[in-house]
């Protein structure tokens, strides 16, 4: 049984989807949680996640912090809210992500920049804000959401693939920088997971993608959360700089 009692965790983009499932898993293991979302419209969803955690377990405390992780100052405030409330930051899950899919010939500059700003820039901003405290603590876990698309590419997702590939290079470099302070930095690369992000994809592309999954089904957010819970646990203490694929075999 994984026990994270006394650990404080920030999960970016945890008002729904994979982030919400990760928040629930970490809380079930006893961690205190900062739930994060960027839009006002997601407040109700974030509150529902926080309420379900409180109803599920009395062990973990939970707060909500609205912040757009692509903005350095907001990312700093997000990490500060964790330090202020729980007096440490032990686990950071850089999960917030967006897609702005288009073939390159039709991709607007803003589609490119916004995707890079949120996915890669948000990971940089939050990691930078958290790592100083983790270095002082001489412990910490950073887990970044990459994607199978960052490893194999996908037509119509050059911006997203570049951001997720960038996260792999970022993860390995930071892992090397902070290993001496007992901080591990890993990435998880999900395949096709049933969330709002993939619900928006055209049916034909979804079918085509699923036909390539050896396990012949979409993954559940909870299945990605289980991998992240493991990387946050004591059992993963000797794993750093890795990319763990959760793809039903799509990425083998
Ligand atoms: P989702 O259902 O669209 O949820 C995205 C979450 O991120 C929401 O809570 C959203 O809240 C938040 N968010 C978006 N922009 C943000 C920003 N600038 N600052 C803070 N929060 C922000 O996505 P998902 O499918 O769960 O994906 C989660 C992560 O897994 C992403 O990094 C994604 O790239 C990665 N991933 C997903 C799949 C998949 O198949 N679903 C596969 C591989 C990788 P707001 O709406 O309030 O902004």
Distance, in Å, from the CA atom of 244 to the CA atom of 224, rounded to the nearest integer, reads 10
* Closest by Cα among 190, 191, 196, 231 to 92: 231
Residue listed under structure tokens 């950073």: 142
Sequence-distant (6+) residues with CB within 8 A of 64 are: 34, 35, 36, 37, 43, 46, 47, 50
Choose the residue to mutate in 12, 16, 197 for probing ligand 1, maximizing ligand atoms within 8 Å of C-beta. Answer: 197
Does 238 qualify as catalytic in the annotation?
Answer: no
- Joined together, the tokens standing for residue 25 give 């898993």
Distance, in Å, from the CA atom of 88 to the CA atom of 79, rounded to the nearest integer, reads 9
pLDDT number for residue 57: 86
Sequence-distant (6+) residues with CB within 8 A of 127 are: 92, 94, 142, 144, 170, 174, 185
- Joined together, the tokens standing for residue 16 give 């729904």
pLDDT number for residue 116: 98
- Residues 233/189/95/104 CA torsion (nearest 10 deg): 170
pLDDT number for residue 204: 86
- Joined together, the tokens standing for residue 191 give 């395949």
Choose the residue to mutate in 14, 18, 121, 218 for probing ligand 1, maximizing ligand atoms within 8 Å of C-beta. Answer: 18
Task: State residue 11 phi and psi, 5-degree precision.
Answer: -120, 110
Instruction: Compute, in angstroms, the gap from residue 121 CA to the centroid of ligand 1.
Output: 14
- Joined together, the tokens standing for residue 35 give 């739930």
pLDDT number for residue 201: 83
Distance, in Å, from the CA atom of 144 to the CA atom of 22, rounded to the nearest integer, reads 12
Q: Which of 86, 112, 124, 160 is catalytic?
A: 160
pLDDT number for residue 13: 98
CB distance 10 to 93 below 8 Å: yes
Q: What is the pLDDT along the chain (252 residues), one digit of tens a residue?
A: 999 999 999 999 999 999 999 999 999 999 999 999 999 999 999 999 999 999 988 889 999 999 999 999 999 999 999 999 999 999 999 999 999 999 999 999 999 999 999 999 999 999 999 999 999 999 999 999 999 999 999 999 999 999 999 999 999 999 999 999 999 999 999 999 999 999 988 888 889 889 999 999 999 999 999 999 999 999 999 999 999 999 999 989
Distance, in Å, from the CA atom of 182 to the CA atom of 185, rounded to the nearest integer, reads 10
Distance, in Å, from the CA atom of 183 to the CA atom of 208, rounded to the nearest integer, reads 39
- CATH architecture designation of domain 8-243: 3-Layer(aba) Sandwich (3.40)
Question: Model pTM?
Answer: 0.98
Residue listed under structure tokens 């930078």: 128
Buried b / exposed e across 155-178, counting CB within 10 Å, b at 16+?
ebbbbbbbbbbbbbebbbebbeeb
Q: Where are the alpha helices (DSSP H) in 94-220?
A: 109-115, 122-137, 148-152, 158-178, 196-199, 203-211
Distance, in Å, from the CA atom of 122 to the CA atom of 12, rounded to the nearest integer, reads 9
CB distance 33 to 61 below 8 Å: yes
Domain ranges of the chain: 8-243
């Amino acid at each position: 049984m994984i026990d994270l009692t006394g650990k404080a965790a920030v999960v970016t983009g945890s008002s729904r989807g994979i982030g919400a499932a990760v928040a629930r898993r970490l809380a079930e293991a006893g961690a205190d949680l900062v739930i994060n979302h960027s839009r006002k419209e997601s407040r109700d969803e974030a509150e529902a996640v926080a309420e379900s955690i409180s109803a599920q377990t009395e062990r973990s405390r939970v707060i909500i912090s609205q912040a757009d992780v692509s903005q350095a100052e907001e990312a700093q405030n997000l990490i500060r809210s964790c330090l202020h409330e729980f007096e440490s930051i032990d686990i950071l899950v850089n999960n917030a992500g967006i897609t702005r899919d288009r073939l390159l010939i039709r991709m607007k500059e803003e589609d490119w920049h916004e995707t890079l700003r949120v996915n890669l820039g948000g990971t940089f901003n939050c990691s930078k804000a958290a790592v100083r405290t983790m270095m002082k603590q001489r412990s910490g876990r950073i887990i970044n959401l990459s994607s199978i698309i960052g490893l194999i590419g996908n037509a119509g997702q050059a911006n997203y693939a570049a951001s997720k590939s960038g996260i792999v290079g970022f993860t390995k470099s930071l892992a090397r920088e902070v290993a001496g302070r007992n901080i591990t930095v890993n990435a998880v690369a999900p395949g096709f997971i049933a969330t709002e992000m993939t619900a928006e994809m055209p049916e034909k592309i979804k079918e085509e993608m699923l036909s390539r999954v050896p396990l012949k089904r979409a993954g559940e957010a909870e299945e990605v959360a289980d991998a992240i819970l493991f990387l946050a646990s004591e059992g993963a203490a000797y794993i750093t700089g890795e990319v763990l694929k959760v793809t039903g075999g799509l990425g083998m």
